[in-house]
A and B are shown apart, each in its own frame.
Chain A
Amino acid sequence: MSEILNAALFVTLGVGAMLLYYYGSNWILETALADRVASDGTITKSFTNIRQGVRPWIFVAPAIVLLSVYLAYPALATLYYSFFDANSEAFVGLANYQWAIGNDGFRQAVLNNVLWILVVPLASTAFGLLIAVLADQVSWEAIAKAFIFMPMAISFVGASIIWNFVYDFNAPGNPQIGILNAMITSLGFEPVNWLNQQPLNNFLLMVILIWIQTGFAMVILSSALKGVPDETLEAARIDGANPIEIFFRIMIPQIASTIAVVMTTILITTLKVFDIVQVMTNGQSDTEVLGNFMFRWMFRGTGDDGKAAVIALTIMIATIPFLIWNTRRFYREEQLR
């Protein structure tokens, strides 16, 4: 109970401080820098320009401070720590990078991450697109989409438990309560300890993320599909195109840029994947990925921040092409505004 009171107090203080900052700075601006007005009403000295020059900075300052401390500074600091030893005390040059290149675990993690980013964005987008197209043709579209979209609301940890239950394994001869093993034993096969099967286990973990991300792809692509002009589709129909041709030759090209955005968004999420691997296998049985590998090095024993930094930078480097693509796209659209 005191926890809740404490939290409520903190929140009130935090929100109060925030309001004080915005309203207080505005009050200071409006009074200290008010225009000097003579008794006859004429403005003797105007501070309008100063007020207008200062105000934007008051508005953006909290955001810029937080982003600097939590994102900009850490990016540089992580780079810096990558050249230091486990406790960030002694400079070790490129030793951590050399370690990474020669380390089997690191290579395994990179290889698995590559697999993940090849499979998950493609599968999620394909399923999402297919479901969006199918749902568009039925009257119960909203309900159908809600079911597919629902996993988006579930945490990766919760989703992992859900799928752990699907993959549950009991020794042969015992009742199988995991639905996958129940199905294959009912067909007369031996039950399988799925999460030990290499390299199948990697794909079984990917299934969880695909299960979550398909809903995202479906929602975005569905709204893009609805934006394809009816006249275009009608014209194609009159020209005798069949539904398959319309799909591949009219719809897909029309929403190509949205497909690209969806795939890259899912790709970025996939690159950072941590929770699923941590909960399901903790990287055992050759399922390691960079996100989990970094976490393990951060806290293994007393932790090795130098090596963990190198692993984090590896994830960062993989995102750079998308960072550039994303900002350029944004810049171009800003130019049009």
Chain B
Amino acid sequence: MSSVAAEQTHVQSSNTAVTKVQWKERLGWLAVRATLVFFIVIWTIPTFGLLISSVRDKNQLLTSGWWTSFLATTTTTTNGTLTADAAEEIDGQWVIQGNIFPEGQSGTVDVIGFSALRPPDIPVSETTETRDGFTFDIQPNGDYTLTSAEPFPEDMRAQQVTFTAVLPPRWTLENYDEVLNAAGISESFINTAIVAIPSTIIPIAIAAFAAYAFAWMKFPGRLGLLIVVVGMLVVPLQLSLIPILKLYNQFGLRGEFPALWLAHTAFGLPLAIYLLYNYISQLPREIIESAKIDGASDFDIFTRLIIPLSVPALAAFAIFQFLWVWNDFLVALVFLGTTSGEQVLTMNINALNGSRGEEWHIMTSAAFISMAVPLLVFFSLQRYFVRGLVAGSVKG
């Protein structure tokens, strides 16, 4: 026994020794992970809040923060009763019955009142009188009865009831339904796809041919032109807006989709040529030379050899360009214009933000719809995207 105890003490003391030596390291281990998690949380919370909010009930969304959305919320709202049309005669009395909660909502009513200016203070169990003198009974589930000894006047107003109620969290896709059908988001979604797909395909083909010529063909001015293209990488888009808009107005292209396809193609070309040039020029010289010895023309080499070998670079650029065009706002805003009726998602969301910015059920779901496709593309093809980014900026 005693030897075991001695052994244990020994182990313990050596443990303490180890801990002392490694204490700093372990603290470092923890600090690394804690800092990383901190950054991840900060970086994710804004998007997460938007996503959660987009599936909340629109009234709850406006009266409580999304971080409370899993809890029941206590809110005070005002709603009107039904009017004379709904009255029935029961046992010599006129009665109006209904539920005080808005359509589709339920909860537990706590106290009520008849002035929006004062907090409600009448317990549910009490029978009271409305401001117009009708007898008012209400159950905790919101069912109410308005009673009058006389028939209700034809021109009676809806009796405004202010009530405090506990509402269970309510999750819904109504917000999405509303933006897709009423706010024009589904049209802009289709428009965005119509703009983005050709604007991705066309520059790839044009840039690939050019990149091959720059990498493996000899012609006067090759290096000069290539350097101009590289220079164009940093030329701000803003410089092109005025002259191109003038051209488009002249040719009646403004507001038409081809106006955007051509513009996005051209604006994407410098990066496309640069990326593909970097990749294609790094392909082994022997492959190309041996194909030439076999009598293949540059055209054959390009279509049969270079294209299949360049798939990773082509994919990287395609993702990059697709995300860029899908997310573009400025080019679409200027060349599509706000008057033509055609809008892409970013334009529509900006317009909604101006007109209905406080209606967060609209804004959150609309924004999330616009993000859905890029996020899907991003998460499924992240590897190619990252590779493209790295190639585009690090390599010379």
Contact = CB atoms under 8 A, between A and B. Distances in A.
A18 B202 contact: yes
Contacts of B357: 164
B350 A278 contact: yes
B270 to A, nearest CB: 7
Interface in B318-334: 323, 326-330, 333-334
Interface in B271-324: 273, 281, 297-299, 302, 323
Interface in B170-225: 190-191, 194, 197-198, 201-202, 205-207, 209-210, 212-214, 217-219, 222-223, 225
A59 to B, nearest CB: 4
Contacts of A100: none
Interface residues of B, number: 113
A312 B239 contact: yes
B232 A308 contact: no
A15 B202 contact: yes
Contacts of B164: none
Interface string B248-281: 0000000001100111011101100100000001
A57 B302 CA distance: 15
Interface in A286-337: 290-291, 294-295, 298, 305, 308-309, 311-313, 315-316, 319, 322-323, 326-327, 329-334, 337
B262 A70 contact: yes
Contact of B242 (A10, A81, A331): A81
Contacts of B261: 10, 14
B240 interface: yes
A interface secondary structure, majority: helix
B21 interface: no
A162 B367 contact: yes
Contact of A312 (B46, B65, B223, B242): B242
A3 B190 contact: yes
Interface string B364-378: 101100110011011
A10 B265 CA distance: 15
Given A151-B47, A220-B390, A223-B390, A63 B210 contact: yes
Nearest to B213: A59
A265 interface: yes
Contact of A67 (B40, B44, B269, B379): B269
B62 interface: yes
Contacts of A311: 238
Interface residues of A, number: 115
B355 to A, nearest CB: 13
A166 B46 contact: yes
Nearest to A63: B210
A199 interface: no
A295 B242 CA distance: 10
A228 interface: no
B363 interface: yes
Interface string B26-50: 0010001101100110011111011
A56 B239 contact: no
Contacts, number: 336
Contacts of B269: 63, 66-67
Contacts of A70: 240, 244, 262-263, 266-267
Contacts of B367: 157-158, 161-162
A157 B350 contact: yes
Among A51, A157, A309, max chain B CB count under 10 A is at A157
A161 B353 contact: yes
Nearest to A17: B202
A314 to B, nearest CB: 9
A175 B346 CA distance: 29
B227 interface: yes
A156 B66 CA distance: 23
Contact of B50 (A60, A88, A152, A165): A165
Contacts of A258: 394
Contacts of A271: 236
A50 interface: no
Contacts of A176: 65
B334 A298 contact: yes
A7 B364 CA distance: 29
B32 to A, nearest CB: 5
Contact of B40 (A147, A157, A166): A147
B206 A326 contact: no
B283 to A, nearest CB: 13
Contact of A11 (B198, B207, B371, B394): B198
A178 B281 CA distance: 51
Nearest to A272: B236
B226 interface: yes
Contact of A155 (B212, B326, B360, B364): B326
Contacts of B39: 127, 130-131, 134, 148
Contact of A329 (B36, B262, B378, B396): B396
Contact of B239 (A10, A265, A315): A315
Contacts of B366: 161
A278 B233 CA distance: 24
A258 B394 CA distance: 6
A222 B324 CA distance: 23
B67 interface: yes
B93 interface: no
Interface in A44-69: 51-53, 55-57, 59-60, 62-64, 66-67, 69
Given A67-B229, A147-B43, A155-B329, 8 more contacts: A3-B191, A52-B298, A63-B229, A156-B329, A158-B370, A179-B66, A223-B394, A330-B226
8 contacts: A66-B265, A157-B327, A158-B327, A161-B366, A165-B360, A220-B389, A298-B241, A334-B223
Interface of B: 28, 32-33, 35-36, 39-40, 43-47, 49-50, 53, 61-67, 190-191, 194, 197-198, 201-202, 205-207, 209-210, 212-214, 217-219, 222-223, 225-246, 257-258, 261-263, 265-267, 269-270, 273, 281, 297-299, 302, 323, 326-330, 333-334, 345-346, 349-350, 353, 357, 360, 363-364, 366-367, 370-371, 374-375, 377-379, 382, 386, 389-390, 393-394, 396
9 smallest beta-carbon distances between A and B, as pairs:
A70-B266, A333-B396, A155-B327, A153-B378, A77-B243, A59-B213, A63-B210, A56-B219, A74-B243
